[in-house]
Amino acid sequence: MPPIHGDTTILDSPEKWTGKSLEDIVNYRLSLVRGIKPIKIGDVGQKYIENLQIMSMSERSTDAEMELVKNASPTVSIDGDSPIFGPIGEIKSAKFSNSTSDKNIQKSFYDKDLLAQDAVVGLYNKGIEISRIQKCFSIGMFGKNRKLVPTRWSITATDDIISKSLMEKIIDYDVIDTTKVFSYNHLGNYFSVVMFPSRWMFEMQEAWYGEDGNVGFGSDFEDMRGMTHPPETAGAHFASRLAVSEYLVEQKTQAAVMVLREIRPEYAVPVGVWQVREGVRMALNQNPVIASNFLEGLDAACKGLSIDKKEWLSHSKLYQAKKQKSISDFF
């Protein structure tokens, strides 16, 4: 909760933070006081949780009042998956004002026979922001057997569910006929997306400089059979896959895609995996560089990166899969 009145939506709406500085976003988050209350994951029917669920359905910022057991601790919570939080304190009591609910969220909430994944996809298709869907998912508002879900799980689950629903459409589209390279950078994160003619394959790679000066890598690959290992890039894989899937569905085309993310030292405070999704979305909104093949496209992608092309290729399972001949190559 913020200690101010009025429209405070931007303080907790990652979709509105594109173009903002790291300092702006950190200040948004540090202005929020987080109240905590221990609750069992299955206790979604208690009054306190119901009040939070009703507030989560609100169409606009809602007045609320929170009394803490003692003064909030200045401890700041930093998590690479979710946005940072400001001061934290245990809740003694809380009051929430009445508000007008979003009809689409309300309908999914009261439909106790609707599967959680169908609720998530349905709300996404109706234009509800992903950050709102994630919050509703976290606070146990969807599905037949409802329970509270940790924030980082709800973020990843929402990105995963939505992108899988989009991938089901993508595999029926014709394959793209040229290689495209998209780039964008924000908040000390540099993104390059290489899209080339192939049946659906997807890879997310991350590289960062450690305190010792060495480069760290994380890489995750999947094809139409899905991923066969726990993701090294955690929620970033699913966030970037969602952004790419949205683009391919909008273009009604199919492709293999490699997303490169270089994390520079200026990304001093992790602000959440949302910035990966929004960064790749912004990259795909730029005019692409057209290349004649994948390796030429990778050359173009690496022009804005400090990590060498050979380094990216050495960690790429997608490149290995691309080199394998398919049955169609023999006809």
Q: Return the domain boundaries, the chain.
A: 9-153, 179-324
Strand order of the β-sheet with 88-96 is 34-36, 88-96, 64-68
Interior angle at CA 57, CA 74 and CA 17, nearest 5:
55
d(C-alpha 251, C-alpha 258), whole Å? 17
Predicted local distance difference test score (pLDDT) of residue 79: 65
- 144 contacts 172 by C-beta, under 8 angstroms: no
Predicted local distance difference test score (pLDDT) of residue 331: 36
Instruction: Tell me what the pLDDT averaged over the chain comes to.
Output: 91
pLDDT, tens digit (0-9, with 9 covering 90-100), for 94-134: 998 888 999 999 999 999 999 999 999 999 999 999 999 99
Three-state SS sequence of the chain: CCCCCCCCHHHHCHHHCCCCCHHHHHHHHHCCCEEECCCCCCCCCCHHHHHHHHHHCECCCCCEEEEECCCCECCCECCCCCCCECCEEEEEEEEECCCCECHHHHHHHHCCCCCHHHHHHHHHHCCCCHHHHHHHHHCCCCCCCCCCCCHHHHHHHHHHHHHHHHHHHHCCCCECCCEEEEEEEECCEEEEEEEECCCCEEEEEEEEECCCCCEEEEEEEEECCECCCCCCCCHHHHHHHHHHHHHHHHHCCECEEEEEEEECCCCCCCCCCHHHHHHHHHHHCCCCEEECCHHHHHHHHHCCCCCCHHHHHHCCHHHHHHHCCCHHHHC
Per-residue pLDDT of the chain (331 residues; tens, 9 = 90+): 888 888 888 888 899 998 899 999 989 988 888 899 999 999 998 999 999 999 999 988 888 899 999 988 877 666 666 667 788 899 999 998 888 999 999 999 999 999 999 999 999 999 999 999 999 999 999 999 999 999 889 999 999 999 999 999 999 999 999 999 999 999 999 999 999 999 999 999 999 987 777 899 999 999 988 888 889 999 999 999 999 999 999 999 999 999 999 999 999 888 899 999 999 999 999 999 999 999 999 999 999 899 999 999 999 999 999 877 554 443 3
- 192 contacts 257 by C-beta, under 8 angstroms: no
End-to-end CA separation in angstroms for the chain: 63
